[in-house]
Each structure stands twice: as structure tokens, then as C-alpha cells.
Structure 1
Amino acid sequence: MSNQSILRITRELSEIQRGSDLSLAVACRDIDVRHVRALIIGPPDTPYEFGFFEFTVKFTRDYPTKAPAVTAITTNSGRTRFNPNIYAGGRVCLSILGTWRGERGEEWSSAQGLESILISIQSLMSQNPYENEPGFEDAKSDYDKKNQEAYVAKIRHESLRISVIERLEDYLDIDQGKAPGVTVYNAEEDYQASAENAPFEPFKDLCKRRFLWYYESYIHSIDEEIEKHKDGERFEKMPFEGPGNTMEGTFQYSSLKKRIQTIYGKLNEESAAWAAEGLVSVEKETSIASNLQRQFEQIVEKYKKNDAVTLDLALVEKNPFVWQLVLFGRPMTNLDGGVFRVLINLSPKFPDVLPRVKFETPIFHHRVSSTGVLCYDATRKDDMRSHIEAIIEAIEEESPAYDPRTLVNLDAAKLFWGTADDKKMYNRRLRRSVQDSSEFS
């Protein structure tokens, strides 16, 4: 592969990694940028909502003259077809990739790149994926409409089961007692990594943190669907599904709800365990323990000189892996008079594993889930000052741009982005939680 091609791929990877798109992620082993892993998070308001869909991208020596080869690996070990254009065997049919005959002008050109490929795949994950099947424009009968509804229903179920639940159970070593011959999702096996390589799981921490963000959405989706589909009800087969390239199974929402609650509990146990692991790291005088202690001291000094923000920052039991932030609401804002206690748990693997941030003081806010999990995104992942700034910004921003991927409190989001009267109700409930915060703390 030419140096020019390698530089092009490296630049594209860096641009996506530095970008603000919360639904795309890419990674590769340092030794080989030609083999890339990509993660697409299912778009909101679709049956793929907040699912974790992984792909391999293999660049040839001819890139960017020729498109890379893209393979879906979130396929339930080759048993589940998630879209008319995303096959169980991993084939992704897109004109931009040369794997589907499209209209003139839709074919690959060197002006396109990895991000445009991922966005094109993401566009397949629509509210009605049935429409991606050729001939859909003629599907107007009641029979076709029923098929479309049935197809959406089973994709929603399997997106939760395969792309979210089984992935997280695998990460957390939760044994669900799978029947013989049924394999838990394992991206590394699908990726066909060589035996001498260590497992490559670049999205493990990202998926765990996003699960905590979207936990309320997952539960809400299950509660809605469990009323529509009885446990044991079989999926309907679509006209375009064939042997070895289908989505078979039964609805089991009662089981999915229990499994998703177990995952949530395990993730909370994991972050709580970091405190004890951190103390061991302190005793061993590791570099990460010293680094976090130093960062803490520098941040405290910085905010002592900052009159614009009032906060207290402390280490819980002098442990540099457990920070407690007390944020005081700014005057003349909706947070005025509020006193909010925030717990920040850090892993000894920081910054490869990012902090888990949770509001201990209840607050009615579209960026804080009903269980206290804060949705925020730091610009510099390895800098705790950047994390503190991002936490404050997420809470204080009064006129954010609409982005459903950041709305982790469904009741608050519905009011905040609703009618004028809804917004007034949001402000009243936020103010009420602010007033209650001083008593809570």
C-alpha cells in the first residue's frame, strides 16, 4: 500500500475520532490501518434505536481509487439478517461500495471516504427498513403494510437482544445458560483475528457507557413492545428472506427486560469496584494514580481562581479514583440556588476506560437520566479538566441544539422539546428539583 493511501486512511480515521458525531466510532490496531473496525449506533426513532452494530472495513492498495470491502459482523454469528441490504453472511449491499447496482452518479469516487460509507450504511437503518427491498414502491397492499409492521417489530427485538444485550453480557461475562449450538455474540471470532493476536475490542468501554446513557430508552422500548407481542410469539418471515439469510426467532421481551436490568446492575458494580482497585494502585504508586492525583490538584487550583463557576471538588476517602464534585447553580439561571453532588468514578485503566459520572442529587434534566447518569462528551478524553468542563457545560447549557442521542431522560426531553407549555412545565420541574437539592445535600 502506498504511503499516500496510508496517509489518507489515517487522516480519515483521525477526523472521525475527533468528530462530534455520537453515532460513529472507528478503530484499528496500530500496526495495520488497512483493517479497520467501525461501530454504528442505531439512529433514534427507528427499530435499530441505540443498538451497537459493528463492521469491518478492509482497504486495498488501490484506495481511494477503489472502495474498501465492508462486512457486517453483528449478525448473530451469521444467523441474522438485520436489513434487506445487510445480509446474515455480512454482505453490505450499497452502490457506493460497488456491491449493488445503483443509479448513475451513486457509484464510488475517490472524493468519498470512510465517513460517507458509514453514513450511507446508517441511512439503511430507517424507520421502515422494508423500503430498502427492491420493488418496495409497489408494496401498497394491506398484506405489504402488515409485513412492514412485522419486519420492524422483529428488528426492534433482535436489535435489543443481539446488538445490545448479548454484546454487553459478553463484555461482562454474564452467563445466560445458552442452549447447545447457540453462540453469544463475539465480534473477535467474526473478525477472524489471527490466533497470535490479543483480542481486539476497541468499543467495549464506549458501549458500556452508552448502555448507561440509553438504559431508560431500552426499558421504555421493551415496556411498549411487551404489550404488543406475547412471549413465544414467532417472528413472521418476509417475502425476500431466504434460507440462511433471514431473521428467525420468537419474541421474549419479559426475558430481555430481566437481562437488561442485570446488565445495568453489573455495570454499577463494576464502576463501584474501581474504588478498591484504585487504592491498590495508589499503594503500588502506579503512574496512573500519581497522574490522577496531580490532575485533581491542578483542577482544584484552577477553579479557585475562576469566579465564573462555583464548585467544590474533593477526593472520596483521599482516593484519586473517586472524585466528588459539588456544583453550585449560577445566579440568574434555572439552576440558581441549586447544590448538586456528583460522583465521578475512575478506572485504573483511565483514559482507555473513561469515567462514569452520576448525579447523587436528583435533578430533572434532559441530560441526566432518572437514575442519575449524566450524558456528556469530553473533548480531551485523557484530561480530567476537560471532563469537568464538559460536565458543567452539559448541565448549564440553556439553549442546546436538538440531538436525540443526548436526551437520556425521556420525560424531561419530551417536555423540553415539546410545545411552549411543555417547556414551561420542564422549567417548573427543573426549578423544583433545584429548590429540593439544598435539602437533599
Structure 2
Amino acid sequence: MSNQTILRINREVAAIQQGSDLSIAVACQEEDVRHVKALIIGPHATPYEYGFFEFTVNFGAEYPSKPPKVEARTTNKGRTRFNPNIYAGGKVCLSILGTWHGERPGEEWSSAQGLESILWSIQSLMSNNPYENEPGYENAKSAEDKKMNELYCAKIRHETIRVAVLQKLEDALGIQSDGSIAANSSPKWASGDEDDEPRDEKPEPEPKLKFEPFRDLYKRRFLWYYETYMSTIEEHTPKHKDSSDFTKMPFEGGGNSMDGKFRYGDLGRRLVRVKQVITEETNKWAVEGLALKTRESSKAAGVQRQFEQIGDYLRQKQCHNLSVELEENNPYVWLMTYFGKPMTHLDGGIFKIRMSISPRFPDQQPRIKVETPIYHHRVSKDGVMCYFPKKPEEIRNHVESIVEALEEDSPPYDPRTIVRPEASKLLWGSDSDKKRYYRQLRRSAQQSCEEGGM
């Protein structure tokens, strides 16, 4: 592979990583950029909603003259076909990939296209009408066809939560089928044995770890979209009798299908368990962080310096509506108090915010909990905040981004940021809906003040 080709792949990967599209992500190992892992998050208001769909993208020496080879990895170990164009065996049928013959000019691959356009094309398959993606069914508009599409969407919706959400999170957290945590699921650092100071004895070589770049992203986005997952289960449980079979589509068969049974009750219990384990993991960060500080770890000292710098920064900027302190002098737990700005919807509000920082920061990003109740489109019912740091490796930028998210006024609609569905529905609804949203936001600010921010 030529240096020019490698440079182009690097540029395309970097452009996606630095972009603002929250529905796609890519990662590769520095030693070989030819092999890229990609993630597509299922579009809002479709049966694929907020599912985590992984793909491998392998670039050949002839790229960009010829397209890369793309393979779906979220297939339930080759047992689940999520779309007429995304096979259980991993094949992705798209004209721009040369795996399907398009009928219209411009559908074939050209060197002007790239990784981002491929991911967008795959994402476009994840619609409310997946039935029509099957050749011969493009114009299926009869009442029977519409019924079959609804039945197809019903099982895709169920399997998105089961396979593309729960299986991903349970694997990342080491959760077994009975809800327990696998004994070997905790990495070496979890026992407190990790130390970044030199030792006299020669360390044993560590086994090469499997490249899993999206695990932290799964956990953060799961917390964002938890309410949506639970709402989906609540809405569709009455429509499908427990243990009833999926309907087989006319084009399914030969192992290239989506077979199974509806078990929404079990999915709900598993979602609750995943959230519980993520919370437990977050609480462990504080214990690990304090242990690192006690051992005078350089990592802990680095986080401590960032805390001291944020204090200096706030004083220099004369930022009087935010204070930051450490919980029990632990550099890995920052406690923020945000005071609502005068003449805004948050005027007079006093909000307590907890930032939990991982000892693996920045590989694992901080987790934010707004502990004071607030009715806000960027804050879930239980306080999980959706925000976007421009510089994820700087804790100060996380603090700035949290404040920006709280103070965001009249934001553009972006369904990928919906963490509190009923608040978002009001904010981006009619004029009267929007007024109701801001009334509730002001009311939560008033109540936080009356309760002393507790």
C-alpha cells in the first residue's frame, strides 16, 4: 500500500473522529490503519433506534480506486440478519461497495467517495421501511406489504435492544446470563495493583488485548439513551405476547434470517442490571483514585494539577457562578456548584453536579451526574448529562462544556442528543409546548434555590 493511500485513510479517519456527527465513530490501531473498526448508532424513531452496530472496514492497496471491504460484526454470532442488505454472515450489500448492482447512474463507487460516505450509506438502510430494501419489494405498498413491514420492524426493534445494545454492554461489563459479574472480567487495575512507578523485578509480558475501541462509548451512550430503551419496552410489551415467535419474512431463509421470540420483560430486567453495574463501576473509580493518590501516583498528581488549574482559570475569567471542589480530597471526584445566571431561565438556581473521573482518563471519559433535580433537555430524569467536550483530554474543557450545555438556549434539533424524551418533545414542539418546557425549567431552578441546592 502506497504512502499516499495510507495518508488518505488517516485523513478520513481523523475527519470522522474530529467531526460533530454523533451517530458514527471510527477507530484503528496506529500500526495498521488499513483495518478500521466503525460504529453506526441506529437512527432515532426507527426500529434500529440507538442500537450499536459495529462494522470492520478493510482497505486494499487499490484504494481509493476500489472500495474497501466492509463486514457487519453485530450479527449475534452470524445468527441475526438486521436488514435485507446486512446479512447474518456479515455481508453488506451496497452498490458503492460493489456488492450490489445499482440501477441508477452515480450509485457505483468512485474515488471521490470515502469512509464517511460509506457509513452514511449503511446508516440510510436503517429506516422505518427496511422491508422495501429487499430487491423486488421496493414498491411494496399494499396493505399486506405494510403489515409485513410492521412485523419486520417489530422484531428488528426487539433484537436491536437485545443484540445491538444489551449484548454489547453485558460483554463490556462482564455481566453473565444470570446477572452476575464474571470473575475474570475485572482488568488488572481493578484490584489496585497497578502502579506507574518503576519496580526492581522484571514484569511478566502482558497478553495482547483484543482491540475494543468503543466500550467506553457504549457505556456513556447507554446512560444517555436508557430512558428511550425503557420507553420502547414499555410501549411494545403489550403488543407482543411473551415467548411468541418472530414472523419470518418471505426473503429470509437458509440461515440468513432473524429468528427468535419476543421477551421484552427479560430485556427490561437486563437493562436495569446493566445500569446498576455501570453505576457500581463509576463508584469504584473513586476508590481506585484515592488509592492512586495514597501511593503518590503520578497519574493522580496529574489530575490534581488539572483541578488546581481549573480554580486559577475560574478566578482569571471572573466566573462567579461556578465553584469546584474535591470530594474528601479525592482528585478523581469533582463536586461542582453551578449558580444560574441572572436574566436567564436558570436565574437563582443552585445545582450540584458530580464529576466522576476514571483512573484511565482520557481513555475512559468522565461521567456526570446532576444531583439537584432539574427539568432540562440535556439532563435525564436521574441526572445523567449529555454534553460534548471539544477537547476530551482536558478536564477543564469538560467543565466548560457542562456549563455550556446547561446554559444552551434555543438549540438546534438533534435527535442523537435526546436523553430526556418528554422534555425534548416540548422544547422542539409547538410554541405552547416550548413555553411549557421553559416554565418547568424555571420552576426547577426556583425549587433548587428553595431547597438550598440539595
Tell me by how many angstroms 1:197 deviates. Answer: 4.1
State the shift of 1:386 in Å. Answer: 0.8
- Once the 2 structures are TM-superposed, how far is the Cα of residue 145 of structure 1 from its aligned partner? 1.5
Partner residue, 2:60: 60
Residue 232 (str. 1) matches residue 238 (str. 2): no
| 1:101-153 deviation per Cα after TM superposition (whole angstroms, max 9, x unaligned) | 00221111111100000000000001111111112244233221111000000
Which residue in the other structure is 1:402 paired with? 413
Indicate how the Cα distance of structure 1 residues 308 and 323 shifts in structure 2: closer, same or farther if over 3 A, else same.
closer
Letter aligned with residue 106 of structure 1: E
Provide the rounded CA distance (Å) in 2 between the counterparts of 1:386 and 1:138: 50
Give the match for residue 109 of structure 2: 108
Equivalent residues, number: 425
1:38 is matched with 38
Contact preservation (8 Å) 2:423, 2:437: yes
SS in 2 for 1:362: coil
What's the TM-score, normalizing by structure 2? Answer: 0.92
1:355 corresponds to: 366
The answer to whether the Cα contact below 8 Å between 1:322 and 1:345 also exists between their aligned partners in 2 is yes
For the residues of structure 1 that align with 2:107 and 2:435, how far apart are their CA atoms?
A: 46
Look up the match of 2:153: 152
Q: Structure 2: how far apart are the matches of 1:362 and 1:51?
A: 28
Give the superposition deviation at 1:162: 0.3
Q: Report the counterpart of residue 305 of structure 1 in structure 2.
A: 316
Q: In the alignment, which residue of structure 1 is the partner of 2:430?
A: 419
Which residue identity lines up with residue 321 of structure 1 in the other structure?
Y
Aligned mates of 2:372, 2:139 — CA distance in 1: 55
Residue matched to 1:336 = 347
Q: CA deviation at 1:285?
A: 2.0
Residue equivalent to 2:99: 99
Whether the aligned pair in 1 keeps the contact of 2:132 and 2:139 (CA below 8 Å) is no
Are residues 1:88 and 2:83 paired? no
The aligned counterpart of 1:317 is 328
Match of 2:63, SS? coil
Q: 1:76 — aligned with what?
A: 76
The residue type paired with residue 44 of structure 1 is: H
SS of residue matched to 2:152? helix
What residue in structure 2 maps to residue 383 of structure 1? 394
Deviation at 1:230, TM superposition (A): 1.3
One-letter amino acid of the counterpart of residue 120, structure 1: S
For residues 220-266 of structure 1, give each alpha carbon's deviation from its aligned partner in whole angstroms, at most 9, with x where no partner exists. Answer: 01100101111111000001111110000000000000000000111
Distance 2:146 2:415 in 1: 28
Distance in 1 separating the partners of 2:357 and 2:388: 15
* CA distance in structure 2 between the partners assigned to 1:32 and 1:285 by the alignment: 36
The residue matched to 2:342 in structure 1 has which SS?
coil
Q: Aligned partners of 1:334 and 1:99: how far apart in 2?
A: 53
Structure 1: state its 5+ residue gaps.
Answer: 179-195
Q: Paired residue for 1:393?
A: 404
Cα distance, 1:309 vs structure 2: 5.2
What is the 5 A alignment of 1:117-266? 117-177=118-178, 197-266=208-277
Gaps of 5+ in 2: 180-206
TM-score normalised by length of structure 1: 0.95
Supply the RMSD in Å over aligned alpha carbons: 1.3
| Deviation (angstroms), 1:30 | 1.4
Give the aligned residue type for 2:170: E
- Aligned residue for 2:383, secondary structure, equals coil
Provide the rounded CA distance (Å) in 1 between the counterparts of 2:65 and 2:139.
Answer: 36
C-alpha displacement at 1:305, in angstroms? 2.3
Q: Kindly provide the CA deviation profile for residues 398-425 of structure 1, in whole angstroms up to 9, marking residues without a partner as x.
A: 0111101112111111111111111111
Q: How much has 1:177 moved relative to structure 2?
A: 4.6
- Equivalent in the alignment of 1:3: 3
CA distance in structure 2 between the partners assigned to 1:309 and 1:215 by the alignment: 34
Identity of aligned residues (%): 59
Amino acid at match of 1:214: Y
Tell me which amino acid in the other structure corresponds to 2:286.
A
Change (3 A) 1:86 1:339: same
| Distance change (3 Å), C-alpha of 1:44 and 1:352 | same
Map Cα deviations across residues 84-112 of structure 1 (whole Å, 9 max, x no partner).
00000000000010000002211111111
- Secondary structure, counterpart of 2:4 in structure 1: helix
Q: Which one-letter code corresponds to 1:114 in the other structure?
A: L
Distance 1:99 1:309, change over 3 A: farther
| Aligned equivalents of 2:340, 2:355: Cα separation in 1 | 19
Change (3 A) 1:138 1:58: same
Once residues 312 and 242 of structure 1 are traced to their aligned partners in structure 2, the CA distance between those partners, rounded to angstroms, is 61
Secondary structure in 2 matching 1:99: coil
Cα distance between partner residues in 2 of 1:59 and 1:65 = 11
Mapped contact 1:288–1:350 kept (Cα < 8 A): no
Pair 1:288-2:289 in alignment = no
Give the AA of the match of 2:213.
Answer: P
